[in-house]
Amino acid sequence: MEVKSKSKTALGNAIDAATKAEGSASATLASLQAQGERLTSTELNLGTASVQNDIAAEKTHELENYNRSMFVPKKMRFFRSRSRVQDEETTIISRNQAEREERDRTREFGYDSKNVVGRGVDTTRRVESKEKSSVAERPQYQFEPKADDDQIEDEIDAGLDELGAITGRLKGIAIASGKVVDRQNEQINRIIKKSDRVDDQIALNQNRLRKIH
């Protein structure tokens, strides 16, 4: 009886520690989810900035052409103007399609990142179910219990069930967190490349404008 009482106490301490670990892991996963949403928003904004820089580059190019056209005969300017309008409309359509596809890819990536957490929860449930099955099979390996031990053994069994469920959930949270971190690292690398592209575009546009003036 004394040994079982000590086992019950130790089991209670283990459950307390596991519960605290689960709370900390859940908070970390929630923080990663919020960070993922901010990263997706940042990537979308960078995409918009890149498009606006492309537009600015086109306007700068138009200004350069306008300055040169001042020395071109009027009739020739008319035909060039019509051709320029057609080219501009084609460019607008292509840019809009590319921008829309990029936005869709970024949003889809963010949506998939949220689903990673859902899949982690499913893993948790499968592990938890397996743990409960293992606990349910335990009695067939135990000696015939004494009547006065029934209550404490029931409490220990219940505690083992609870501990198994918590550790199962912890495993699911750990799996989900690892996958979310991997996806966010991939997204951060894309953001870095897009940031560099926007920075390069700004430098080019500034240089072109300086040459015009």
Domain count, the chain: 1
Over the stretch 52-87, which tens digit does the pLDDT of each residue have? 888 888 887 777 766 665 555 555 554 556 676 677
Distance between CA atoms of 197 and 151, rounded to whole angstroms? 69
69 belongs to a structural domain = no
47 belongs to a structural domain = yes
Strands (E), the chain: none
- Could you list the residue range(s) of the whole structural domain that residue 147 is in? 2-10+30-51+103-212
75 belongs to a structural domain = no
67 belongs to a structural domain = no
Residues 6+ positions from 202 with CB-CB distance below 8 Å: 53
Residues 6+ positions from 72 with CB-CB distance below 8 Å: 80
- 203 burial level (CB within 10 Å; 0-12, 13-18, 19+): exposed
Check residue 135 and give its pLDDT. Answer: 46
119 belongs to a structural domain = yes
Distance between CA atoms of 13 and 8, rounded to whole angstroms? 9
The full length of the chain comes to 213
136 belongs to a structural domain = yes
Q: Which two tokens stand for residue 52?
A: 């606006």
Distance between CA atoms of 68 and 65, rounded to whole angstroms? 5
- Euclidean distance between the first and final Cα of the chain, in Å? 94
Q: Give the CA radius of gyration of the chain.
A: 32
Predicted TM-score (pTM) above 0.75: no
86 belongs to a structural domain = no
DSSP code, position 142 = S
Distance between CA atoms of 193 and 102, rounded to whole angstroms? 14
Q: Give the model's confidence band at 151: pLDDT under 50 very low, under 70 low, under 90 confident, else very high.
A: confident
Residue 194 in contact with residue 40, Cβ under 8 Å?
Answer: no
Over the stretch 93-137, which tens digit does the pLDDT of each residue have? 777 777 778 878 887 877 776 676 666 556 555 555 555 544 445
Residue 211 has pLDDT above 60, yes or no: yes
Over the stretch 163-210, which tens digit does the pLDDT of each residue have? 999 999 999 899 889 989 999 999 999 999 999 988 888 888 888 777
144 belongs to a structural domain = yes
Check residue 53 and give its pLDDT. Answer: 86
Check residue 133 and give its pLDDT. Answer: 47
Distance between CA atoms of 173 and 33, rounded to whole angstroms? 12
Q: Give the model's confidence band at 18: pLDDT under 50 very low, under 70 low, under 90 confident, else very high.
A: very high
